[in-house]
Amino acid sequence: MSKANYDLPNATLAKVVKLSGARSKREAIIIALDEYIKKKLAEELIGAFGKFKLKWTQKTLRAYRG
């Protein structure tokens, strides 16, 4: 883990702390970063929708499901 010093807007940080229910500013920042990552990964998945051909049959699906 690395340490960094940033000048963050107090009002914005206070909103993040309040909305996230975090107990500290550090926890609020971690929550915000995790949510940003989830959002971007979801956008990538949505963008990939329909771009891959699946060649699964009922038989292969049953085998996959166990």
Predicted confidence pLDDT, tens digits, the chain (66 residues): 788 899 999 999 999 999 999 999 999 999 999 999 999 999 999 998 888 888 888 998 899 887
Whose structure tokens read 């940080």? 13
For 28, 35, 40, the CA distances from 44, given in Å and listed in that order, are: 25, 14, 6
pLDDT attached to residue 26: 95
pTM above 0.95, yes or no: no
pLDDT attached to residue 42: 96
Contact 31, 38 (CB under 8 A): no
